[in-house]
Chains A and B, each alone.
Chain A
Amino acid sequence: MIKKLWSWLVTAIKETLNLSWTLVGLVIATLTLTGSAQQVTGLATVITLAIWLLTISFRKE
């Protein structure tokens, strides 16, 4: 179980690194925006990243 979790963690880090430039853009966007736009962008970024990482295996099949 731990080994499987560790494997997923490594893969998630790799995927996140692949998204580095996208994340930089989204972080900058979030920091540049204010109010509701900032909240929506931040929330969307977090949720999308979570979904992206949780569906790694699904997308690789």
Chain B
Amino acid sequence: MLRLCLALFLLIPIPALAYHVPTQAPSNLTLTVDYENGTVKADWDASDQMEDYPAERYAIGFGLSDEVSLPYGIATGNVGDSNALNTEYTFTASYLNAVFNEAHGLFHVAIRSDNDTNASYSEWTPTVSITIQNKPASVTLSSYDMNREDGIKFEWSASASGFVSASTYKMYYKLSNASEWTLEGQQSNTDYVLAWDNLTDDTYDFMLSACGSENDCNDSNTLTVDVVTYVAPTTTTSTTTTTTLPPKVEEVYVAPPPPPPPPTPEEIIVDVKVEGVDKTYTQADVNDGTIERDQERIDNEKEYGCFMTNAQIERGDCDIPKPIEEDTKDDIIKEEVVVEEIKEDVEVIIPKDDVDVLDPPKEQVIKDEVVEFEEPPIEFEIIEFDLEDIAPEIVVEIPVQDEIEEEIKDEKIEEDVQEVLDEPIQEVVSEDTPGTTLPRVEDKEPLELTEEEVAVEVAEVQEIVEEIVVEEATVEEVVEVLEQVNDIGVQNLDQATKEVQQVVQAVVEEAIADVEELTEEQVEVVAEVLQVEAEDVAIIAESVKDDEVIAEAVEEYVARAVENTDVENYTLADVVTEISYESFIENPIETFVDFDGLGDITIANIGDDMTQDQREKAQEVVVPVILTRIASMAAFIFRRS
């Protein structure tokens, strides 16, 4: 008997006491900043893979801010990818710049194990933070030139491979046997001449610091040089040479002949005053036609509103409004309105080739102010004309519009109105017909989309989802995503990527969390996603706070709905039941002996915290069971009697 009891004790599991973690979180997350390559490497250890649902990939949350936050996420790969189970990830400076518009500051990272197959996700690891300084990569100091009169010249390649580019370089030097560095030179060029005054014939160490805009610097290697100060050769050109010449300098320095002086700029200056603005031209500008082109630009800006030459105008670079005959074909409103618009837009609608009226010939440009000018003087003229004076003629010249308008009135408007009446009004009527304030989701017509339509809708969802940052999304953005999801139905998201599903899931959670901020219409949108009634959304939002099962159901709703694409009328209530069942299997005793908040329950409010959908699902199951039990009991009693 004792052995039997012992065997039973050993064989029977005690789920209530078991510690069960479906998917374990990674551990030992470390961050390493590499300023030379401009990268931050996150490295972590995988779990022992002994859990029920080991990681299939890792989600990496990260942020760059003074306070710990992880507004962005990225994954090591998709399930099954060769790199999905990598236990390190490298953030590059360009990536950080693309996400945060900067690549320095306090950087935060946390990792989570994901098992997408079973929709099982571990806890996030503790967030690890590291400071990325505004520090460029170091430079290599190797090239120098002592054969110079002014000093020893160093040259290096610009530092550009780090998180930031170097904005200044600081040159340090010291005697090799000294300990303290001397700063000499701070500039942005990639070369520097250290004057001989600072040096003697000795062994020196040189070092260069590449510094960012906030003066965070990265030191180069130390370059040791046996300095031999330059001694000028015996030439007549030097006035600063020392009196004793070292014997080793044998060659004679001959200063190169001075380069020929640059050609003196043409002194002929043309001052032109155009519309009150002084412009200065040289003779070269006169010769190469710059002045003429500028004048064309001025004329065309007046005429067409485009500061372009005639050649550019002819090429079509300027967006000149179409002639009025074409424009009015589209303006199909009323006669008076059209005429008024024409009058208002007269300046714009004048055809550019209307030479008789508008095109001011270049020759007629009036001189405003000329020129102190000796060689062939160029006279500039400015023709000042008022377009409004010309406009009435144009209006008179287009009476044809009236006829066109009449035709439009007779034909096109009617056609358009007919089209309008044919399409959207009918839709509006059908949408308005239910008449209830909060229509049940089931009352709506089922979605009947073709595969192509679903694919298009999924693409739209993906497009919106890619633009949204869930943690920072406004209520309107959240609702917009949910409306898109409703267009195809949650279960059709199986055609979208896992990332999109996860974002939609996060959006659903966000909507539930912010339900108090939603309008009635927005609540309906959320209700439609969850396949519940609108008034149940508030109940769910309240239950999420203290009911772990419902909270988990909301968290996993999208994933499970996608998994159950083939199940008709799959709602949040089904997810709740599934999770309750899984919880019962894991820990049956706790499911029945969870009496938290029992004191708050009264006979009157039992069941008030259940959604209507949940009640119906329960009735569908419980009532047949009870009836069957009653029937069997009745049969038993009848048989005994």
Contact = CB atoms under 8 A, between A and B. Distances in A.
Interface of A: 21-22, 24-25, 27-40, 42-43, 45-46
Interface in B518-568: 543, 547, 549-550
A24 B577 contact: no
Interface of B: 543, 547, 549-550, 576-577, 580-581, 584, 591-595, 597-598, 600-601, 605-611, 614, 617-618, 621-622, 625-626, 628-629, 632
B594 A28 contact: no
A21 B629 contact: yes
A28 to B, nearest CB: 5
B625 A24 contact: yes
Contact of B584 (A21, A27, A33, A37): A27
A29 B581 contact: no
A22 B519 CA distance: 45
Given A34-B543, A34-B609, A42 B614 contact: no
Contacts of B598: 39, 43
Nearest to B594: A39
B530 to A, nearest CB: 14
A39 B576 CA distance: 15
Given A25-B622, A40-B601, A30 B632 contact: no
B15 to A, nearest CB: 15
B502 to A, nearest CB: 25
Contacts of A42: 591-594
B595 A39 contact: yes
20 contacts: A24-B625, A25-B625, A25-B629, A29-B622, A30-B592, A31-B577, A31-B591, A32-B622, A33-B614, A34-B543, A34-B580, A35-B543, A36-B608, A36-B609, A37-B618, A38-B580, A39-B598, A39-B601, A40-B606, A46-B593
B632 A21 contact: yes
Nearest to A35: B609
Nearest to A38: B580
A39 B605 CA distance: 13
B94 to A, nearest CB: 49
A26 B606 CA distance: 17
B606 A36 contact: yes
Nearest to A21: B629
Contacts of B550: 34-35
Contacts of A37: 606-607, 609-610, 618
A51 to B, nearest CB: 15
B592 A32 contact: no
Contact of A45 (B580, B592, B609, B622): B592
A3 to B, nearest CB: 10
A10 B592 CA distance: 23
Contact of B618 (A22, A24, A33, A40): A33
A25 B601 contact: no
Contacts of B625: 24-25, 28-29
Contact of B547 (A24, A32, A34, A40): A34
Contacts of A22: 629
A28 B621 contact: yes
Nearest to A19: B629
Nearest to B624: A25
Nearest to A24: B625
Contacts of B584: 27, 31
